[in-house]
């Protein structure tokens, strides 16, 4: 009985968080537009990676697949969706005639790792400079 009550409580928390936007509709609109732009930029990065691997598909199909892969990666089945996201990418990209789905997923994961590593190192460097009083 604890599990259903926990889910109801989580749903109630989500609804109350959404209700906070009710008084500030411009914040809701702005965050929604930023999310759309972010997803389109992500799809554009996937588009360039797909071109690098020699695959071709329509941009709308790519946007749809990228959104579905984002959902798959966030499911807490394996750390970072390893294996699950690769298989899903292979299946989804095969459905639009691209044979390099898993490779594309791994390439994008590697690019993201490099970006995050660089960002983390920059943050650590800034933190050291700030602690030394150089900033």
- What is the reported pTM? 0.65
Please name the residues in contact with 93: beta carbons below 8 A apart, sequence gap of 6 or more: 55, 57, 65, 99, 100, 101, 104
User: pLDDT tens digit string along 45-78?
Assistant: 989 988 888 888 888 998 999 889 888 888 888 8
The torsion angles phi and psi of 68, rounded to 5 degrees, stand at -65, -40
pLDDT in tens, 103-123: 898 898 899 899 999 988 988
CA atoms within 13 A on the CB side of 1: 0
CA angle 78, 100, 56 (to 5 degrees): 130
Q: Which helix (H) or strand (E) holds 24?
A: none
Q: Is 4 exposed, middle or buried (0-12, 13-18, 19+ CB in 10 A)?
A: exposed
């Amino acid at each position: 009985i604890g599990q259903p009550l926990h889910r109801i409580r989580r749903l109630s928390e989500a609804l109350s968080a959404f209700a906070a936007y009710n008084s500030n509709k411009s914040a809701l609109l702005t965050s929604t537009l930023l999310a759309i732009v972010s997803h389109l930029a992500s799809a554009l990065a996937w588009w360039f990676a797909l071109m690098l691997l020699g695959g071709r598909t329509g941009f709308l199909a790519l946007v749809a697949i990228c959104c579905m892969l984002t959902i798959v990666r966030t499911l807490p089945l394996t750390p970072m969706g390893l294996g699950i996201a690769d298989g899903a990418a292979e299946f989804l990209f095969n459905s639009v005639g691209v044979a390099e789905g898993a490779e594309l997923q791994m390439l994008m994961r590697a690019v993201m790792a490099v970006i995050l590593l660089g960002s983390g190192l920059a943050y650590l460097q800034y933190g050291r400079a700030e602690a030394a009083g150089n900033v």
